[in-house]
């Protein structure tokens, strides 16, 4: 059952808790009063048997005997009082006016109460009077008439009523002042119990609240001290519970943000180191060649001079590519690259990529091939950006492949409005421990791969960014000695798909 939103409020929950505790205390107090104050004292088996089965008959018999000898009321009362002394009961004779004539214990009830309403005594002689349920004065638990458990009329043999005989249980010695003070005592007792209960309940409620607030305070202190892994364990749906959950979310986000900042700081340090290394290497090479050319001047052989110039030119070209890649990667990271998607055929784009890679492929006697079905749909993408992805992958296949190897592009309709692209080579493959880092910036794999050609380690990182910008994901599969395959998918043109479905 879902908790009503009303109880999500902390004020309502505290008030409800206080009310529940108040009801519990009031109920316990009522039960205590009922069992300990209002209820008659506990009786043993003999006493309970006498009260339940013998007392009424004996009192009726005593009343009849007293009617035959009205001058012996005191003797009757005292003699019978001795018999019932163990039961802590008492009998009292009243005249028809309700005044006490004789008592089994003259120093007890008749000393405190001189008379009783005669009409009440007459009513009590009625067989329908329920002594267990009807109390003449329910507001006064010490009232004398409330202790009467049986009443019998005292009559002569001729039927003339002489008075009444009342039997009471466990007589108490008290004065009229005591009777008058009892209500005040009860109210005072109730007030004291209420104050004590309010103190206890207030202490419980405040302990519950302060314990939860203390947990929040400790968590905030830990966060201020830099311990970001501290969490508040409070699943309550009230305001403090929501505050605890908001604190946990804030701590998680702050921890992630700091980890991200640390990662970016580490990345920036590594980036600067890598850029410095990649710039320093060609610059150092060019400096050496240029100094040699300057010192030797025109005395150098023409072929050697041309080779030096070509080396310097190659290094300048590498620096130009490195700077261009860095700028492009920076634009991709910042979202400044503008993509212009359009519908175009992938096979034609692959042909253009092969044409630009033909010189490098010829130099290594590498075969370039494209495997594509005739009914391949058009794709929707930025052709210039996808061409760069394919160019990077094909160039890598040529660069890191073996002499006389093969690089081929495989295009397939993947279904679901997608066209799959795979670029595969039959080179030496990539070691399993290298694969997880293959798309990291400036990562060029092992030394043997990096020495096979100048590589900035940015091509695959740029390719990954471009594919992700097209809502795709580029993956790599490789096996040592059996080559490497890069895969990604592009969105197929909707109009082309609908035309193909219409033809079928």
Q: What is the pLDDT of residues 239-266, one digit of tens each?
A: 667 777 777 778 778 878 877 777 766 7
Reported in sequence order, the residue ranges of 321-431 that DSSP labels E, i.e. its strands, are: 342-344, 367-371, 379-381, 406-415, 418-425
Which range is least confidently modeled, 189-198, 382-391, 445-454, 474-483?
A: 445-454
Separation of alpha carbons 92 and 208, rounded Å? 59
Q: How confident is the model at residue 147 (pLDDT cuts 50, 70, 90)?
A: confident
Question: Which residue has better confidence, 206 or 271?
Answer: 206
pLDDT score recorded for residue 440: 78
Q: How confident is the model at residue 268 (pLDDT cuts 50, 70, 90)?
A: low
pLDDT score recorded for residue 179: 45
DSSP labels for 71-89?
A: GGHHHHHHHHHHHTGGGTE
Which range is least confidently modeled, 262-266, 298-302, 462-466?
A: 262-266
Which CA distances in Å does 234 have to 11, 123, 204, 206? 17, 65, 18, 17
Tell me: pLDDT of 293 over 60. Answer: yes
What mean pLDDT is predicted for residues 231-236?
70
Domains defined along the chain, listed by start: 41-169 (3.30.450.20), 239-332 (1.10.287.130), 340-503 (3.30.565.10)
Which range is least confidently modeled, 123-127, 265-269, 296-300, 353-357?
A: 265-269
pLDDT score recorded for residue 294: 77
What mean pLDDT is predicted for residues 196-221?
74
Torsion of Cα atoms, 183 then 189 then 192 then 194, to 10°: -80
What tokens were used for 269? 């340090």
pLDDT score recorded for residue 368: 93
What tokens were used for 106? 């003259």
Contacts of 103 by beta carbon, 8 Å cutoff, 6+ apart: 77, 81, 90, 91, 92, 93, 109, 110
> Which range in 5-9, 433-437, 447-451 is most confidently predicted, on average pLDDT?
433-437
What mean pLDDT is predicted for residues 133-154?
74
Q: In this structure, how many other beta carbons lie within 10 angstroms of the beta carbon of residue 422?
A: 18
What tokens were used for 274? 């890598």
Nearest to 122 by CA among 145, 96, 102, 104: 96
Which range is least confidently modeled, 166-175, 315-324, 413-422?
A: 166-175
Separation of alpha carbons 198 and 429, rounded Å? 80
Tell me: pLDDT of 374 over 80. Answer: yes
Contacts of 439 by beta carbon, 8 Å cutoff, 6+ apart: 460, 461, 463, 464, 474, 476
What mean pLDDT is predicted for residues 196-205?
73
Q: Is the separation of the CB atoms in 449 and 480 below 8 Å?
A: no
């Amino acid at each position: 059952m879902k908790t009503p939103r009303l109880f999500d409020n902390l004020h309502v929950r505290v008030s409800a808790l206080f009310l529940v505790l108040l009801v519990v205390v009031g109920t316990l107090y009522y039960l205590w009063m009922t069992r300990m104050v209002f209820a008659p004292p506990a009786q043993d088996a003999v006493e309970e048997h006498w009260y339940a089965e013998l007392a009424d008959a004996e009192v009726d018999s005593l009343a009849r005997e007293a009617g035959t000898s009205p001058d012996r009321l005191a003797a009757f009362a005292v003699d019978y009082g001795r018999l019932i002394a163990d039961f802590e009961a008492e009998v009292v004779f009243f005249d028809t006016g309700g005044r006490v004539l004789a008592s089994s214990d003259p120093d007890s009830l008749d000393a405190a109460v001189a008379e009783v309403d005669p009409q009440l005594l007459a009513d009590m002689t009625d067989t329908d009077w329920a002594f267990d349920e009807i109390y003449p004065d329910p507001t006064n638990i010490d009232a004398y008439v409330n202790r009467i458990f049986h009443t019998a009329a005292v009559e002569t043999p001729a039927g003339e009523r002489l008075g009444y005989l009342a039997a009471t249980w466990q007589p108490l010695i008290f004065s009229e002042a005591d009777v008058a003070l009892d209500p005040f005592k009860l109210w005072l007792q109730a007030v004291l119990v209420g104050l004590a209960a309010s103190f206890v309940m207030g202490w419980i409620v405040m302990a519950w609240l302060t314990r939860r607030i203390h947990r929040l305070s400790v968590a905030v202190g830990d966060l201020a001290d830099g311990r970001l892994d501290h969490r508040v364990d409070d699943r309550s749906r009230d305001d403090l519970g929501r505050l605890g959950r908001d604190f946990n979310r804030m701590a998680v986000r702050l921890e992630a943000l700091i980890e991200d900042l640390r990662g970016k700081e580490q990345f920036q340090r590594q980036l600067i180191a890598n850029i410095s290394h990649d710039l320093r290497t060609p610059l150092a090479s060019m400096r050496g060649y240029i100094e040699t050319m300057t010192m030797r001047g025109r005395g150098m052989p023409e072929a050697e001079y041309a080779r030096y110039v070509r080396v310097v030119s190659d290094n300048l070209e590498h620096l130009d590519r490195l700077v261009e890649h860095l700028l492009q990667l920076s634009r991709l990271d910042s979202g400044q690259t503008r993509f212009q998607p359009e519908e175009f055929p992938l096979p034609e784009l692959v042909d253009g990529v092969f044409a630009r890679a033909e010189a490098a492929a010829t130099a290594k006697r590498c075969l370039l091939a494209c495997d594509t079905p005739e009914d391949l749909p058009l794709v929707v993408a930025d052709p210039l950006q996808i061409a760069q992805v394919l160019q990077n992958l094909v160039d890598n296949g040529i660069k890191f492949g073996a002499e006389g190897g093969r690089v081929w592009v495989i295009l397939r309709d993947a279904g679901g409005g997608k066209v799959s692209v795979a670029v595969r080579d039959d080179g030496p493959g990539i070691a399993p421990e290298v694969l997880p880092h293959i798309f990291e910036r400036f990562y060029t794999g092992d030394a043997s791969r990096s020495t096979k050609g100048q590589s900035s380690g940015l091509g695959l990182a740029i390719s990954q960014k471009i594919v992700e910008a097209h809502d795709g994901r580029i993956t790599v599969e490789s096996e040592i000695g059996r080559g490497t395959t890069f895969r990604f998918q592009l969105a197929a043109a909707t109009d082309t798909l609908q035309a193909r479905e219409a033809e079928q």
